[in-house]
Amino acid sequence: MTVAADLDIARTIFASAPFMVELGVVPTVVGAGAVTTELRVERRHTQHTGVVHAGVMASMADHTMGAAAQTLAPAGRWILTAELKTSLLRPARAERLVCEARVLKPGRALSFTEAEVWAVSAHERTLVMKASATMAVTAPKA
Protein backbone atom coordinates (compact mmCIF):
# COMPACT_ATOMS: atom_id res chain seq x y z
CA MET A 1 0.00 0.00 0.00
CA THR A 2 1.40 3.41 -0.94
CA VAL A 3 1.58 6.37 1.43
CA ALA A 4 -0.98 8.18 -0.75
CA ALA A 5 -3.36 5.23 -0.38
CA ASP A 6 -2.67 5.18 3.37
CA LEU A 7 -3.54 8.88 3.56
CA ASP A 8 -6.81 8.25 1.71
CA ILE A 9 -7.64 5.42 4.14
CA ALA A 10 -6.75 7.62 7.14
CA ARG A 11 -8.96 10.42 5.82
CA THR A 12 -11.83 7.94 5.46
CA ILE A 13 -11.30 6.63 9.01
CA PHE A 14 -11.13 10.15 10.49
CA ALA A 15 -14.24 11.13 8.50
CA SER A 16 -16.10 8.17 10.05
CA ALA A 17 -15.24 9.32 13.61
CA PRO A 18 -18.02 11.83 14.45
CA PHE A 19 -16.07 13.59 17.21
CA MET A 20 -13.02 14.15 14.98
CA VAL A 21 -15.34 15.52 12.27
CA GLU A 22 -16.96 17.83 14.84
CA LEU A 23 -13.56 19.09 15.97
CA GLY A 24 -12.27 19.43 12.40
CA VAL A 25 -9.19 17.22 12.80
CA VAL A 26 -7.88 15.85 9.48
CA PRO A 27 -4.85 13.70 8.68
CA THR A 28 -2.26 15.31 6.40
CA VAL A 29 0.65 12.82 6.42
CA VAL A 30 0.64 9.07 7.02
CA GLY A 31 3.56 6.66 7.16
CA ALA A 32 4.38 3.39 8.88
CA GLY A 33 4.02 4.15 12.58
CA ALA A 34 3.51 7.90 12.11
CA VAL A 35 0.59 10.23 11.44
CA THR A 36 0.34 14.02 11.26
CA THR A 37 -3.00 15.81 11.64
CA GLU A 38 -4.16 19.40 11.40
CA LEU A 39 -6.98 21.47 12.87
CA ARG A 40 -7.94 24.98 11.77
CA VAL A 41 -8.61 26.82 15.04
CA GLU A 42 -12.03 28.43 15.36
CA ARG A 43 -13.68 30.28 18.24
CA ARG A 44 -15.54 27.06 19.21
CA HIS A 45 -12.17 25.43 20.03
CA THR A 46 -11.30 28.02 22.67
CA GLN A 47 -12.07 28.36 26.34
CA HIS A 48 -13.09 31.49 28.23
CA THR A 49 -9.59 33.07 28.08
CA GLY A 50 -9.38 32.74 24.30
CA VAL A 51 -6.76 29.98 24.16
CA VAL A 52 -7.42 26.57 22.62
CA HIS A 53 -9.13 24.27 25.13
CA ALA A 54 -6.83 21.55 26.50
CA GLY A 55 -9.53 18.96 25.74
CA VAL A 56 -9.36 19.82 22.04
CA MET A 57 -5.60 19.29 21.97
CA ALA A 58 -5.80 16.11 24.07
CA SER A 59 -8.48 14.64 21.80
CA MET A 60 -6.45 15.54 18.72
CA ALA A 61 -3.31 13.94 20.17
CA ASP A 62 -5.18 10.82 21.35
CA HIS A 63 -6.79 10.11 17.99
CA THR A 64 -3.60 10.88 16.06
CA MET A 65 -1.55 8.53 18.25
CA GLY A 66 -4.20 5.84 17.80
CA ALA A 67 -4.04 6.31 14.04
CA ALA A 68 -0.24 6.00 14.12
CA ALA A 69 -0.56 2.71 16.05
CA GLN A 70 -3.25 1.53 13.63
CA THR A 71 -0.76 1.79 10.74
CA LEU A 72 1.26 -1.02 12.36
CA ALA A 73 -1.64 -3.14 13.68
CA PRO A 74 -2.16 -6.61 12.21
CA ALA A 75 -5.00 -6.94 9.69
CA GLY A 76 -8.36 -7.32 11.41
CA ARG A 77 -7.20 -5.65 14.66
CA TRP A 78 -8.27 -2.27 16.04
CA ILE A 79 -6.47 0.16 18.30
CA LEU A 80 -8.09 1.50 21.48
CA THR A 81 -6.54 3.86 24.01
CA ALA A 82 -5.64 2.11 27.26
CA GLU A 83 -3.81 5.02 28.93
CA LEU A 84 -3.30 8.66 27.98
CA LYS A 85 -1.03 11.34 29.47
CA THR A 86 -0.80 14.95 28.37
CA SER A 87 1.54 17.74 29.39
CA LEU A 88 0.49 21.29 28.54
CA LEU A 89 3.59 23.36 27.93
CA ARG A 90 2.05 26.75 27.17
CA PRO A 91 -1.26 28.28 26.05
CA ALA A 92 -2.16 27.77 22.39
CA ARG A 93 -3.17 30.84 20.41
CA ALA A 94 -2.88 30.00 16.74
CA GLU A 95 -4.45 29.84 13.30
CA ARG A 96 -4.08 26.06 13.31
CA LEU A 97 -2.79 23.15 15.35
CA VAL A 98 -0.54 20.45 13.95
CA CYS A 99 -0.14 17.12 15.76
CA GLU A 100 2.75 14.79 14.95
CA ALA A 101 2.38 11.29 16.41
CA ARG A 102 4.60 8.23 16.23
CA VAL A 103 4.81 4.72 17.59
CA LEU A 104 7.73 4.29 19.97
CA LYS A 105 7.29 0.55 20.43
CA PRO A 106 4.72 -1.56 18.61
CA GLY A 107 3.53 -4.75 20.26
CA ARG A 108 1.14 -7.68 19.85
CA ALA A 109 -1.11 -6.54 22.71
CA LEU A 110 0.07 -2.99 23.52
CA SER A 111 1.80 -0.27 21.54
CA PHE A 112 3.49 2.77 23.03
CA THR A 113 3.06 6.12 21.28
CA GLU A 114 3.90 9.79 21.69
CA ALA A 115 2.76 13.04 20.11
CA GLU A 116 3.57 16.71 19.93
CA VAL A 117 0.96 19.40 19.32
CA TRP A 118 2.20 22.59 17.70
CA ALA A 119 0.45 25.98 17.50
CA VAL A 120 1.07 27.43 14.04
CA SER A 121 0.49 31.04 12.99
CA ALA A 122 1.98 32.71 9.91
CA HIS A 123 5.69 31.85 10.19
CA GLU A 124 5.69 30.82 13.85
CA ARG A 125 5.48 27.24 15.15
CA THR A 126 5.33 26.72 18.93
CA LEU A 127 5.24 23.44 20.85
CA VAL A 128 2.19 23.59 23.15
CA MET A 129 1.58 19.99 24.26
CA LYS A 130 3.41 16.68 24.63
CA ALA A 131 1.39 13.50 24.96
CA SER A 132 1.98 9.80 25.34
CA ALA A 133 -0.39 6.87 25.21
CA THR A 134 -0.50 3.14 25.62
CA MET A 135 -2.65 1.69 22.85
CA ALA A 136 -4.35 -1.70 23.13
CA VAL A 137 -4.40 -3.91 20.05
CA THR A 138 -7.88 -5.47 20.08
CA ALA A 139 -10.03 -7.83 18.05
CA PRO A 140 -13.30 -6.26 16.92
CA LYS A 141 -16.48 -7.64 18.51
CA ALA A 142 -18.47 -9.88 16.20
- Ordered mean pLDDT values, 10 residues apiece, the chain (142 residues): 68 93 97 97 97 98 96 93 98 97 97 98 95 95 72
pLDDT at 40: 98
Domain boundaries, position 132 = 3-138
Q: Is 70 strand, coil or helix?
A: helix
Contact predicate 135/81, CB 8 Å: yes
Q: How many CB atoms lie within 10 A of CB 34?
A: 17
> For residue 1, what pLDDT is reported?
37
Q: How many domains does the structure of the chain reveal?
A: 1
Burial class (CB in 10 A: 0-12, 13-18, 19+), 91: middle
**Residue-level pLDDT at 6:** 86
Q: Residue 45 is part of a domain; what is its CATH number?
A: 3.10.129.10
Name beta bridge partners: 131.
Answer: 86, 115
* One-letter-per-residue 3-state SS of 122-142: CCEEEEEEEEEEEEEEECCCC
Per-residue confidence (pLDDT) for residue 13, from 0 to 100: 87
Sorted by sequence, the CB contacts under 8 Å of residue 71 that are 6+ apart come out as: 6, 30, 31, 32, 33, 34, 35, 103
d(CA 79, CA 138): 6
The pTM score is: 0.94
In what helix (H) or strand (E) does residue 37 lie, and over which residues does it extend? Answer: strand 34-40
